[in-house]
Chains A and B, each alone.
Chain A
Amino acid sequence: MSTNASARAASTLAANSFREALLAVGGEVHLVHTAAEAQACLQAVLEEAHVRELVHHAAETLAPLQLSALAQQLQLTGPHGIGPQAHREHCARAGAGLTGAIAGIAATGTLVLAAAATTPRSTSLLPPLHVALLHSARIVPDIAAALLLFPAQALPSQIINITGPSRTGDIEHDLTTGVHGPARLVVILLHPESEHHP
């Protein structure tokens, strides 16, 4: 196998592991291979959930999705040119939040996000539906590896590891989702076809 092919094989393994682990905790995963498929998938997920307003992280963290293509159907609110109060209000009423994950964790199906000016916390927290884009090349084995992605001497103000939807079993052990955070977590997992497919 060429170096490319073995890298491809490794990321296929990682993508499959991520997918299985996330499904096991009640998350949803859509495996797509091209930017166009990712775009179509996002559109379908939002339509199906009847989302009218979408809050999202900065466009540069969401490549290759084309957010402008969604603007005809729904109201879009990103973090640029908006104050804290307006941001909070939009997040509180939006039907979905869209984020681009920094990484994924293969062993547990975890999304790794970090708070920053372009990637506020509430986007993945307040709406009832969280949609995240994840590139298969960014999947790492476990949480120890995920934490190594950040420079220890200059950590972001929050590293947010998300494994499945918000859940509780506090009433009679009856597992219920969405008590505080999103009731649904949908990951669009972009796993490009290699030119040198093995």
Chain B
Amino acid sequence: MLSPQGHFAERAKEAVADAHLRAAVRRTVDRLRDLRRTTEANDSAMPLRREKARLVREHSVAALPHLLEQFTQACRRNGTVVHRAADAAEACGIALSLLRTHAARRVVKSKSMVTEEIGLNEALERDGIEVTETDLGEWIIQLAGERPSHIILPAIHKTRHDVQRLFERESGTTLSPDTARLCAHARIRLREKFLQADAGISGANFAVASTGSIALFTNEGNGRLVTTLPRVHIAFMGMERVVADLDALASMAEVLPRSATGQKLTSYCTVITGPRGPGELDGPEHLHVIIVDNGRSAVWRDPEFRDVLRCIRCAACLNVCPVYAQVGGHSYGGTYPGPIGAVLTPLLRPEQRSATELAEASTLCAACTEACPVGIPLHDMLVRLRRREQALHPHRVQRLMLRVAMRFARSAKAGALPALLRAASHGGTAIVLRKLVPALDHWQRTRALPPAPAQTFRALWPQLAQEAMNEH
């Protein structure tokens, strides 16, 4: 759910201290980044594909109200029932009443970020409905009672031994920590859930306005099972997911996996148009789409930030972000981590103080903007968010800076700084920094100091001043 507990700094501190989590996240982002770069390097048309994707999403966002109207009408023609939800509570409420109407008590889900954003699982479980996440990574996270650490690979911080323990606890059997065996076990357990489920809940990677279709891209095939076996299918989509037509969808189908995992297409790319047709032996008898606003129309009305709605959730920006690589997904609190989360979460939840500080979680290196396949100027937006925060709460930031500076200046340590820094750059970084500012002890464990110059500026000044005088 989009409600970060505590502050970014606290969560980040914990995450940075967790060496295992850091190593796992680091491995993941490096790997995904390299896969994307290899695919892009071997595809001379990639710049053109990205340009088309950018245009498709720019058009989608610009024409959003019109496309949503068109989508709704096309759905009416093909038998899909469309619902609009203004916020999280309404979206969950609609799903609950649909499940009640269809007497559905057991639900299988395929990966959907918007349902995490609205806290759907908690809402359904409160009502006594059994919800099973069926994406392997999401299931692992669900069994662990945790939250995803990466958009594409949510459970990547779990080792195979962690997974073995979780599966053993869930099934009461003894398993081997071999990945193939663990996957085979998941196949059997989750297949039972699929065959018993009354309803399937999915997200929607995209919706197609002209045809009233929704598209699901998955690799495991759970998206297909969710939309094939249960008698009811409920698809959730953020209101910005819509594109104009099938040609626009084709562009997305090519660019999203290339940017996410370096794949040319995901293993399964399903275009769903209405419920099961006459004479069909499988597929849901009822298909509902819930279009979720939850703060999006406010973002759409804001010319400075509207473009963020182009996002296709590929995670390319996470995989190049130096901050994300250090702190991992949990630190961002909300559903959306990394640079996109740092922009989107405070925009969707402006009333949440802990969300607005996410804009500080960036070095403004612009790697995210460069990676983004749909041309969202992420680092510009971070600057705009900071500026806005500064304008709204000028004292907060200044007070903080001032307090740090004053405390340091008053301490006797200030005078010893140059000598200490020189010592630090000669290898004693850890000890020296700890001595200098005890609070930095934790901070410096994960950082290296640049080498200090042999002579201080203060020592050099008389000579420099003389040279400057001579030049005139």
Contact = CB atoms under 8 A, between A and B. Distances in A.
Contact of B187 (A143, A169, A180): A180
Interface string B183-213: 1101100110001000000000000001101
Given A161-B265, A166-B267, A171-B158, A176 B179 contact: yes
B59 interface: no
B246 A147 contact: yes
A123 to B, nearest CB: 9
Interface string A15-43: 00000010001000000000000000000
B119 interface: no
Nearest to A162: B268
Interface in B142-169: 153-156, 158-160, 163
Contact of B186 (A88, A156, A160, A179): A179
B109 interface: no
A79 interface: yes
A181 interface: yes
B253 A120 contact: no
B276 A157 contact: yes
Does more than half of chain A's interface fall in helix, strand or loop, or is it mixed?
Answer: loop
Contacts of B27: 173
B456 to A, nearest CB: 48
A87 B281 contact: yes
A194 B32 CA distance: 44
Contacts of A138: none
B69 interface: no
Given A144-B247, A152-B211, A160 B270 contact: yes
B: interface residue count bin: 35 or more
Nearest to B217: A161
Given A108-B265, A167-B267, A172 B179 contact: yes
A155 B271 contact: yes
A156 B270 CA distance: 11
In this complex, the member of B249, B250, B282, B283 whose beta carbon has the largest number of chain A beta carbons within 10 angstroms is B282
Contacts of B163: 171
Interface in A48-92: 79, 82-84, 87-88, 92
A158 B229 CA distance: 13
Contacts of B221: 125, 166, 179-182
Contacts of B158: 171
Contacts of B78: 155
A87 B276 CA distance: 15
Contact of A171 (B179, B250, B275): B179
A1 interface: no
B278 A179 contact: no
Contact of A117 (B135, B183, B280): B280
B183 A171 contact: yes
Given A122-B281, A161-B270, A178-B184, 11 more contacts: A121-B282, A142-B254, A144-B250, A155-B273, A156-B277, A170-B155, A171-B140, A171-B158, A171-B163, A171-B179, A172-B160
Interface of B: 27-28, 31, 78, 134-137, 140, 153-156, 158-160, 163, 179-180, 182-184, 186-187, 190-191, 195, 210-211, 213, 219-222, 224-225, 227-229, 245-247, 249-251, 253-254, 261, 263-283
24 contacts: A25-B263, A116-B280, A122-B281, A143-B254, A147-B250, A147-B271, A152-B210, A152-B246, A153-B211, A155-B271, A157-B280, A157-B283, A158-B273, A163-B266, A163-B268, A166-B219, A168-B137, A168-B183, A170-B137, A171-B160, A171-B182, A180-B221, A181-B267, A182-B221
